[in-house]
């Protein structure tokens, strides 16, 4: 019998293929959680919050206020727990690196900050006229002092101060090596968006998002090293080109702030010993 609640799971339970996929997805996640001391009870608390938030956001019935009872039905949680979680104070969600990412994006892609060869300019800290790091930051926001942002980028190793005291962009992306707060932020954002796109396609929503991956087995370590290097080269070229396009589009056609949308694309490389678990 089909469910009479739009968006609800069928009464027969979730498909076996889905539960198998979730188990595979959880395996690397649980390794990370155990490494950082996230115990099962702690994860259980996070899951309760996540279930309530997801049910509240995505499963309201048309023209009807979403009740705690319905959220309890959808999630399997006790109604009292649902009530507490739904009406808890809003938690501030930190978004580290947003300004620095925008500054680096413009420095990398905008023609005003490129040399004659199209590479990111080597910039003085400040200048009365012409390009400078301070002018670059001001072109994005006046809310943060350029020195504060520069100190952070120097600490992360993304920018280098040369002997002539000019600043050089070292990478084509904001790579937060060794910074746990930033690494954790990007871990959640990037994997969350990837799962959102794949889940959109799995549910059958339209239009589907592009979501493709290359998998190849039976390779040597030397072959893996070559593939990894080439994937990095091609991938960074793609991301750099798309970043430049996004900068041009944002300036040529600025949206209504109330209707502004976020775009995400990315790539990853992974290799491991062949364990014969890949499907044919």
What would the DSSP string read from start to end of 187-200?
Answer: HHHHHHHHHHHHHH
Residue 133 sits at the vertex; the CA angle it makes with 132 and 134, to the nearest 5 degrees, is 90
Alpha-carbon distances of 144 from 100, 113, 140, 220, rounded to whole Å: 10, 20, 10, 49
DSSP 8-state secondary structure symbol assigned to residue 9: P
168 forms beta bridges with 160
pLDDT computed for residue 3 by the predictor: 41
Q: Enter the pTM of the model.
A: 0.68
pLDDT computed for residue 278 by the predictor: 55
- Flag residues of the chain having pLDDT under 50: 1-6, 92-94, 96, 173-174, 279-280
pLDDT computed for residue 176 by the predictor: 52
Let me know: does 159 contact 120? Beta carbons within 8 Å: no
Q: What pLDDT, in 10s, does the model give residues 201-232?
A: 999 999 999 999 999 999 999 999 999 999 99
Q: So where are the chain's domains?
A: 1-91, 98-169, 213-280
Domain 98-169 has CATH 1.10.10: yes
Tokens for 210, please give them: 């592009």
Tokens for 114, please give them: 């490129």
Rounded-to-integer distance, Cα 108 and Cα 98, Å: 15
Provide the CB-side half-sphere exposure for 111 (13 A, CA).
4
């Amino acid at each position: 019998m089909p469910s009479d609640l739009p968006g609800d799971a069928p009464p027969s339970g979730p498909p076996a293929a889905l539960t198998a996929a979730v188990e595979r997805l959880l395996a690397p996640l649980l390794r990370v959680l155990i490494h950082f001391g996230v115990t099962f009870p702690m994860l259980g608390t996070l899951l309760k919050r996540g279930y309530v938030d997801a049910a509240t956001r995505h499963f309201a019935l048309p023209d009807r206020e979403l009740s705690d009872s319905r959220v309890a039905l959808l999630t399997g949680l006790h109604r009292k727990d649902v009530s507490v979680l739904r009406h808890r104070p809003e938690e501030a969600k930190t978004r580290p690196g947003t300004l620095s990412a925008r500054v680096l994006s413009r420095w990398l892609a905008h023609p005003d900050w490129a040399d004659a060869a199209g590479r990111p300019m080597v910039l003085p800290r400040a200048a009365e006229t012409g390009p400078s790091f301070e002018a670059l930051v001001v072109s994005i926001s006046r809310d943060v002092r350029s020195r504060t942002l520069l100190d952070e980028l120097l600490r992360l190793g993304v920018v280098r101060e040369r002997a002539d005291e000019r600043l050089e962009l070292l990478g084509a992306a904001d790579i937060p090596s060794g910074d746990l707060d930033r690494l954790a932020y990007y871990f959640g954002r990037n994997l969350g968006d990837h799962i959102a796109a794949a889940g959109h396609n799995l549910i059958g929503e339209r239009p589907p998002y592009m979501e493709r991956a290359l998998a190849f087995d039976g390779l040597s370590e030397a072959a893996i090293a070559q593939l990894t290097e080439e994937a990095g080269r091609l991938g960074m070229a793609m991301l750099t080109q798309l970043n430049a396009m996004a900068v041009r589009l944002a300036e040529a056609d600025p949206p209504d702030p109330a209707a502004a949308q976020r775009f995400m694309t990315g790539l990853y490389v992974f290799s491991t010993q062949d364990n014969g678990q890949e499907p044919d």
